[in-house]
Structure 1
Amino acid sequence: MDIKELYKLYQQHPCITTDSRNCPEGSIFLALRGESFDGNKYALQALEKGCSYAIVDEDIDEPSSRLLKVDDCLQTFKDLAREHRRQFNIPVVGITGTNGKTTTKELIRAVLSECYNVMATEGNFNNDVGVPKTLFRLTDEHDIAVVEMGASHPGDIKTLVETAEPNCGLITNVGRAHLQGFGSFEGVCKTKGELYDFLVSHDCPIFINRDNEHLMQMIQERGQQPDLYFYGQSDNQDILIRGEVVSCAPFLKFRWREQDAEAGFVSEWMEVQTHLIGAYNLDNMLAAITVGYVNNIPFEQINHALENYVPTNNRSQLTETEKNHLIVDAYNANPTSMKAALDNFRLMEVSPKMAILGKMGELGDVSDEEHQKIIKLLEEARFDEVWLVGEEFQKVNSSFRTFANVDEVKAAIAQEQPQGRYILIKGSNSTHLYELPALL
């Protein structure tokens, strides 16, 4: 059965489940496999629970006309999702990058939602399973889609763009993350650049940070370019949307304007007070403004969306507790994002300052080197107190207090009861620092 035929079957049963514990009546079960599970083993069980059909890629002992065998269930899942996406002639914005892609996606969603019905990636559904699930949420009611794509190995973005087929998009930035999978910073650039490859080859618009030399080099290497919409903080004449930080006390306040050098037009500055911590979020704001501008969102509504966006996903959040002021960025950490967070915390005019930092994962052979660089940044920052979590920090030269894991940190908090402090909490998700705010 080819994809066209399978999709016709999906149209008759428009619900695909990959979890045998959740089998709505009349749905289609698709047997995915992972390191510790094999969906093929649960195909018959899914049929018994209410699925009309089960798609498998292994022979099942008890044959059934409701078992549909394919060569590769994951590839079939992606192919079906692409076929579903092709039913909708709407803008699909593709987003990837080392840092800031989820925040940027949420800001773009907020801006576009002022005028359109937007379907956007939920949570961290940005991999080769999450992207198809996202695409299957598309309905005739949606005007535009925003699809986030993550990567940890070469070729990941190529696979995802060939599934989602975005017709415009942006890379937030490229940095030293997942080096164990990519092999090098050049590997990061090549993989993230697969979004540019797709957009350039299909003559699709690209939104790009004009001030990011790596992104500019990547787009220039691709020769003939589609429409480029530049944003940034510099005075480059070809920037369409320009912004400047006004203050970070502690929330980011910035101003922005539209400019067209060829037409000699420059709009008045517009000031926006956000609920995000960190000057590094200005680039994310400018990206959302640019996407909104190109999609005809009025300036007032762009500003309204950005002023009212409140993060709820452990990214750039300031949380006030009875005891402390917490700056929570505990979902992810790599050398680039860690430096940005520390630089911003250092510039904040608050005191006393305490940093609780978790390890940075998936750095491979350069892990010790990159963790040592963070120690140097901390020494220069001269925060009032620093706690470091994870064996990666315990292996490098440091005079700061270290903990093997989050449980040791919890014990120290219970005993010492820190109070009256501004506390930055940042680390890789695997360190579980997101468990700390409830205790502080």
Structure 2
Amino acid sequence: MNIMTAAEAAKAMGGTCSGEASFSEVCIDTRSITPGCLYIAIKGDRFDGHDFVAKAFEAGAAAAVCSRDVEADGTIIRVEDTRKALIDLAAYNRSKYQIPVVGLTGSVGKTTTKDMVAYVLGQRYRTLATEGNFNNEIGLPRMCLRLDDSIEAAVFEMGMSNFGEISRLTTTAKPTIGLITNIGVSHIEMLGSREGILKAKMEILDGMDKDAKLVLNGDDDMLRTVIAKNPWRVVSYGIEREDVDFRATDIKQGEDSISFTLSGRKKSWEIKIPVIGIHNVYNACAAFICGAIAGVPASDAIEGLANYVPDARRQKIEDRSGVKLISDCYNASPDSIRASLSVLCQVPCSGRKIAVLGDMFELGDYAETAHRQCGEAVAEKDVDMLFAVGKNAAYYIEGANGKVTSKYFEDKESLADALKNELREGDAVLFKASRGMKLEEVIDKVFSQQD
């Protein structure tokens, strides 16, 4: 952010200021205080930032935002609610800049699509993009506070687990372009149904001008209902349907890349991306369209997609001890598991295709059905073996119904031991589960002694 005075910040947050100071950065953690920053004392479930205000000043903070009295010497901005103050200050900072801002959400593919959008926008603009897990009601405001005169475009990822969260994020970020990748079953435990998930995702419109474009996956059955109701503001893309605004055809999958033709109403473009999986064609289509709306020439967008480098925390393909390893342990949902299974089947190998699947979380009453359906998906694919671990993973085995050699494990230790004995040179193995399963620990145990 550009330099701001404490008085200006207090006004933006609806607070009162005692003292004078200025700053160009905001911190909420005293472990990462930078000299001259504004420290906002956030109260969490297990901590209270007010207890560390004095420490923040000692570390060099120029001012602090508090909702109660504290024993500290320095400029204090007093507000009623420091979380709300963070959001209000972020919204104020965002309002200063008339730049293209892409706000995106969806059940699957948010982070990959966000990164692709950033690569496309980055061909023409100095672009700010959501980092790490800064996609929630604490993280997104902090990203908005990084906007300054040097930034020419931004792309903000918006995550959620319940109603109202996307609405609060979008009214802070004020996207000029909205994007919804798909409507799956992630967070169905809280939202009740796919209809509920759609309703929550559509809150993205709450922070958008009425003439701002909304980019939607036209192959998604739930999003089709939105397209029908808002044809004037929606730009659709897809692979299967012919009535979308942009359609990917002639898809050719290589060992480590995909090429396809993207056709609009009047023009077509040849695109190549350095990742595999049909799901990434959808992601690339969305990124290209967002770039076009933001004024990025098609040739630049194509170059940006060609230069895309996947996030190392997400799906990673590498050779380990003669085995083709597909590590995708960051998160999991039924849709993303199907996509990862497709990648497993596309990876060339001389041996067997092995799927190692752990539990998917936050599915509520749908958990049994979802795991069983994913087991059915394994049976439908060219997969030779299924290893399942976790509380609900036995339903993977039930879904596979004996059509694939399957083994169930109650714990990761026994799974790792079995894989050490089973994997052979030439095999390809996929590891996929929700983040809480920490399936990367199994990978470490299996391959650490073999490398």
TM over 0.5: yes
Q: Is the alpha carbon distance of 1:322 and 1:307 closer, same or farther for their aligned partners in structure 2, counting shifts above 3 Å?
A: farther
**Corresponding position of 1:248:** 253
Question: Is 1:292 matched with 2:301?
Answer: no
Alpha-carbon distance in 2 for matches of 1:277, 1:426? 16
Q: Is the alpha carbon distance of 1:212 and 1:376 closer, same or farther for their aligned partners in structure 2, counting shifts above 3 Å?
A: closer
Does the CA contact (< 8 Å) of 1:28 and 1:53 recur in 2?
yes
Match of 1:104 among 90, 110, 113: 113
Match of 2:222 among 204, 210, 214: 214
Query: Partner letter of residue 353 of structure 2?
Result: K
Q: Is the alpha carbon distance of 1:116 and 1:65 closer, same or farther for their aligned partners in structure 2, counting shifts above 3 Å?
A: closer
Q: Secondary structure at the match of 1:356?
A: strand
Q: Sequence identity, in percent? A: 31
Aligned-residue offset at 1:271: 4.5
1:218-297 correspondence runs (5 A): 218-221=226-229, 226-234=232-240, 236-237=242-243, 239=245, 241-244=246-249, 246-260=251-265, 265-267=266-268, 269-272=269-272, 274-297=273-296
**Corresponding position of 1:117:** 126
Question: Is 1:12 matched with 2:17?
Answer: no
Question: Is 1:169 matched with 2:168?
Answer: no
Question: Is 1:327 matched with 2:326?
Answer: yes
Match of 1:57 among 63, 67, 71: 67
Does the CA contact (< 8 Å) of 2:397 and 2:408 recur in 1?
no
Does the CA contact (< 8 Å) of 1:7 and 1:80 recur in 2?
no
Alpha-carbon distance in 2 for matches of 1:154, 1:31? 26
Aligned-residue offset at 1:92: 0.8
Q: Secondary structure at the match of 2:190?
A: helix
Question: Is 1:85 matched with 2:91?
Answer: no
Does the CA contact (< 8 Å) of 1:196 and 1:219 recur in 2?
no
Match of 1:134 among 133, 140, 143: 143
Q: Which shows bigger deviation, 41-50 or 80-89?
A: 41-50
Alpha-carbon distance in 1 for matches of 2:388, 2:319? 22
Match of 2:52 among 37, 42, 52: 42
Alpha-carbon distance in 1 for matches of 2:80, 2:15? 13
Aligned-residue offset at 1:40: 1.6
**Corresponding position of 2:383:** 383
How many residue pairs match? The answer is 429
Aligned-residue offset at 1:334: 0.9
Aligned-residue offset at 1:234: 4.3
Alpha-carbon distance in 1 for matches of 2:38, 2:308? 37
Q: Secondary structure at the match of 1:387?
A: strand
Aligned-residue offset at 1:66: 2.9
1:170-185 correspondence runs (5 A): 170-185=179-194
Aligned-residue offset at 1:235: 5.8
**Corresponding position of 1:151:** 160
Aligned-residue offset at 1:219: 4.1
1:347-358 correspondence runs (5 A): 350=349, 351-358=351-358
State the Cα deviation string for residues 361-419 of structure 1 (Å, max 9, x = none).
01112212211222222233362221112122146764632233434433434455543
C-alpha RMSD of matched pairs (Å):
2.6
Q: Is the alpha carbon distance of 1:176 and 1:232 closer, same or farther for their aligned partners in structure 2, counting shifts above 3 Å?
A: same
Does the CA contact (< 8 Å) of 1:245 and 1:279 recur in 2?
no
Alpha-carbon distance in 2 for matches of 1:25, 1:314? 31
Q: Is the alpha carbon distance of 1:245 and 1:44 closer, same or farther for their aligned partners in structure 2, counting shifts above 3 Å?
A: farther
Q: Is the alpha carbon distance of 1:237 and 1:153 closer, same or farther for their aligned partners in structure 2, counting shifts above 3 Å?
A: closer
Does the CA contact (< 8 Å) of 1:354 and 1:383 recur in 2?
yes
Alpha-carbon distance in 1 for matches of 2:382, 2:219? 29
Does the CA contact (< 8 Å) of 1:32 and 1:38 recur in 2?
yes
State the Cα deviation string for residues 78-128 of structure 1 (Å, max 9, x = none).
110110111111111101000011101111111111111111111121000
Q: Which shows bigger deviation, 309-318 or 175-184?
A: 309-318
Query: Partner letter of residue 188 of structure 1?
Result: I
Q: Is the alpha carbon distance of 1:356 and 1:74 closer, same or farther for their aligned partners in structure 2, counting shifts above 3 Å?
A: same
- What TM-score, normalized by structure 2, do the two folds share? 0.87
Query: Partner letter of residue 203 of structure 1?
Result: D
Alpha-carbon distance in 2 for matches of 1:21, 1:302? 39
Query: Partner letter of residue 334 of structure 1?
Result: S
Alpha-carbon distance in 2 for matches of 1:10, 1:416? 67
Aligned-residue offset at 1:279: 1.1
Query: Partner letter of residue 110 of structure 2?
Result: K
Alpha-carbon distance in 2 for matches of 1:271, 1:126? 29
**Corresponding position of 1:345:** 344
Q: Which shows bigger deviation, 157-166 or 315-324?
A: 315-324
Alpha-carbon distance in 2 for matches of 1:130, 1:405? 33
**Corresponding position of 2:7:** none
Q: Which shows bigger deviation, 3-12 or 111-120?
A: 3-12
Alpha-carbon distance in 1 for matches of 2:326, 2:184? 22
Question: Is 1:401 matched with 2:411?
Answer: no
Does the CA contact (< 8 Å) of 1:243 and 1:254 recur in 2?
no
